[in-house]
Amino acid sequence: MTTPATEADDSAPLVASCHCGRVKIGLASVPTVVVECNCSLCRRYGVLWVYYDIAELTGLPEAGADHVYAWNGRHVDFHRCRDCGCVTHWAPRSAGRQTRGINARLLPPAVVAAARLRHKDGAGTGRYLD
């Protein structure tokens, strides 16, 4: 049996949870924007992203508590729950970058529906298309 991920802070206004509940990431605020990226990986994962500074998050899995994939050894590591396999978040490989992407599909559907949906051209320019 594996050790569970660190629990999200109970005072967080919102918690993103994988299917089995092993990974729970507390968000400091409710997102107003969710982003759909069209890069080959995000498109295949079917994720939507919300972005937060690491200081705004609680409950990120400790090293080794989840599975990590770095496509082609690039700039970010994609994390998923060891038990249910849900993609939970991405983290940059550069220690200087503080932003994390949290999979918005782990949030209640009403939260996602209330946010503005933006489309990012991750497969090309890296710019927003809208």
Q: Using the predicted structure, report yes or no on whether residue 3 has a pLDDT greater than 50.
A: no
Cβ contact 25:88 at 8 Å? yes
Give residue 97's pLDDT. Answer: 92
pTM of the model: 0.89
* pLDDT tens by residue, 30-80: 999 999 999 999 999 999 999 999 999 999 998 888 999 997 767 899 999
**In whole angstroms, what is the distance from residue 58 CA to residue 80 CA?**
16
Residue ranges per structural domain of the chain: 14-30+48-109
Q: Which residues contact 45 (CB under 8 A, 6 or more apart)?
A: 78, 87
pLDDT band for 13, please (50, 70, 90 cuts): confident
**In whole angstroms, what is the distance from residue 39 CA to residue 45 CA?**
10
What share of the chain in percent tops pLDDT 70? 90
Task: Report the pLDDT averaged over residues 98-106.
Answer: 97
CATH of 14-30+48-109, one of 3.40.190.10, 2.170.150.70, 3.40.50.170, 3.30.70.100: 2.170.150.70
What share of the chain in percent tops pLDDT 90? 78
Average pLDDT, the chain: 91
Q: How far is CA 48 from CA 44, 74, 78, in A?
A: 11, 20, 13
